[in-house]
Amino acid sequence: MLLNHSQSIMEKQTENLTTETAKKYDYLIVGAGLYGACFAYMARKRGKKCLVIDKREHAGGNLYCENIEGINVHKYGAHIFHTSDKAVWEFVTSLVEFNNYINSPVANYKGKLYNLPFNMNTFHALWGVVTPQEAMDKIAGQRAAAGTSEPQNLEQQAISLVGEDIYRILIKDYTEKQWGRKCTELPPSIIKRLPVRFTYDNNYFNDIYQGIPVGGYNRLFDKLLEGADLRLNCDFFAHRQELENIADKILYTGAIDQFYDYRFGKLEYRTVSFEQEVLDTDNYQGVAVMNYTDAETPYTRIIEHKHFEFGKQPKTVISREYSSEWKDDSEPYYPVNNERNNSIYLKYKELADKESSVIFGGRLAEYKYYDMHHIVAQVLNHKEF
Ligand code: UDP
C-alpha cells in the first residue's frame, strides 16, 4: 500500500529540481521516518504544505515493514510501540488500529533460558528464590560485596540494580556485543532503560499502553504522510542548494554532523545488520524476541516476526541481529553517547540553535537514543504547532 502511494507521487517527480526552486512549500522535511512523518501530519493539519524527502526507496524510516510470506517483517529491527502518554496513544490509535502485543523477550545464555526484563521469574530460575524479599536480599548481598555506591559506569550501575550474577549472565556479554565497548566504558543510563521488578511479570515495558499496528507500521506512515508530497530516492546532500530554497523552513532529521559537513569531527554510531531467513516451519522459537546473552554467539538476538502479530502463516521469517561500529556506507542506528561524542555533539548543537529556518529533530539530529513514543510526543508538543 505504501509503495503504491509513494509510486504515484514519485511519478510526478522530475530528476531536475530547478523548476521547483521558487519557495513553494512551507516545510521541506528531510527524512520520512517517524519524526518527519509526524511533523508532516501536524503541519498539514494546520494547512501547511510539505515536501518530504528520503534517500531510501521507501518511507517509514527504520519502522518500515516488508511483507514476506504474509508476515510483516521489521526490516530495520523490531519496533514495539509503548507509552504512558495518553495523548500519544490516542494520536497513534486514531490513525491505525493497534494489536495487544506485549513484549516478553526471553534471554538465552548457553542454552539456558531466562525471562526478561529482570523479574521474579528470572530470580527464581537463577537462585531458586520464591519470594520478593528473598530476591531483594540476594541482590543486596551481591551489591554490598561489589561495594558500589554511586555508579559511574554501566557495570557498576547493573551490579547495583541486579547483582553480580545477573550482570555476568544476562548483561555483560550482551551489552559488550551490542555496543562494542567494555561495560566499564559505557554510561549507566543505557541500562537504566531496563525495568527491574519484584513481581512475576514478564512484560518488558512499564508503560500503560503497548502494541503494534495491525498489518504493520507501513499503514501508520500511509496515514501520517497523506496529503504531503513525498520524494523518495532523494538525497538531501546531493541536491542541497536547490532544496534549501524550496521551502520557508526545513525540518532536518538526518545526522547533525553531516549537516555541518563534519566540521567538528564525526559522531560515532552503532549499526545493526540482519541475517534474514525464511524457514519452512510455522514456529521457530515460540517468541518474537530471543536475546543471546553469551559472548560466543555472534548475534545479539533472533527476531521471529510473525509473533508480533500472532501470525498463523505456514512459514516463518527470522532475523539474526548483528551489531557493529557504524561506517560511512552503513545505517547509523544507536548514538554512542560517551563523553567524546557528547562534547562534539554540543558543538554542532550550538550551531543548530542559531539556525532560524532549520529545525532539527529525532535520534540522528539530536544524537539521542529515543523510543518511538518520545518522538511522537515531541512532535505533538512542538512549538511550531
Ligand atoms: N540489555 C542487556 N541484556 C539483555 C537486554 C538488554 O544487558 O538481554 C542491556 C543492553 O545494554 C542494552 C540495554 O539493556 O543496550 C537496552 O536494551 P533494550 O532492549 O532496551 O535495547 P534496544 O531494544 O533499544 O536495542
Query: Could you report the per-residue pLDDT of 356-382, keeping only the tens digit for each?
Result: 999 999 999 999 989 999 999 999 999
Residue 326 CA to chain centroid, in angstroms?
A: 16
DSSP-derived pairing of the beta strands 316-325 and 229-231: unpaired
Distance 144 CA to ligand 1 centre (A): 24
**CA–CA dist 292, 302 (Å, integer):** 8
Q: 9 in helix, strand or coil?
A: helix
Instruction: Return the best residue to mutate from 116, 161, 165, 171 for the ligand 1 pocket (most ligand atoms within 8 A of CB).
Output: 171
Is the preceding peptide bond at 213 cis, omega within 30 degrees of 0?
no
CA atoms within 13 A on the CB side of 176: 16
3-state helix, strand, coil in the chain (%, to 5): 35, 20, 40
Per-residue pLDDT of the chain (385 residues; tens, 9 = 90+): 344 444 333 334 444 454 445 679 999 999 999 999 999 999 999 999 999 999 999 999 999 999 999 999 999 999 999 999 999 999 999 999 999 999 999 999 999 999 999 999 999 999 999 999 999 999 999 988 888 678 899 999 999 889 999 999 999 999 999 999 999 999 888 888 788 999 999 999 999 999 999 999 999 999 999 999 999 999 999 999 999 999 999 999 999 999 999 999 999 999 999 999 999 999 999 999 999 999 999 999 999 999 999 999 999 999 999 999 888 878 899 999 888 999 999 999 999 999 999 999 999 999 998 999 999 999 999 999 9
357: left (phi over 0), alpha (psi -120 to 50) or beta: alpha
263 is catalytic: no
Q: 321, 333, 345, 348: which is the annotated catalytic residue? A: 321
Q: Is the Cα dihedral 316, 321, 327, 333 positive or negative?
A: positive
pLDDT reported for residue 330: 86
What residue's CA is closest to ligand 1, atom 14?
191
For the CA of 171, the closest atom of ligand 1 is: 7
**260 catalytically annotated:** no
**DSSP H or E segment with residue 373:** helix 372-380
Task: For strands 106-109 and 289-292, give the pairing.
Answer: parallel
Beta bridge partners of 207: none
Q: Within 6 Å (CB) of ligand 1, which residues are found?
A: 107, 116, 170-171, 174-175, 178, 190-191, 193-194, 291, 293
Distance CA 270, CA 326 (A): 5
Q: What is the pLDDT of residue 22?
A: 62
Q: Whose CA is nearest to atom 2 of ligand 1?
A: 171
Q: Please say whether the beta carbons of 271 and 62 come within 8 A.
A: no
Hey, which residues does 51 pair with through a beta bridge?
28, 229
- For residue 191, the CA-to-ligand 1 centroid distance in Å is 7
Tell me which of 85, 165, 331, 371 is the catalytic residue: 371
Please write the tens of the pLDDT for every residue from 247-282.
999 999 999 999 999 999 999 999 999 999 999 999
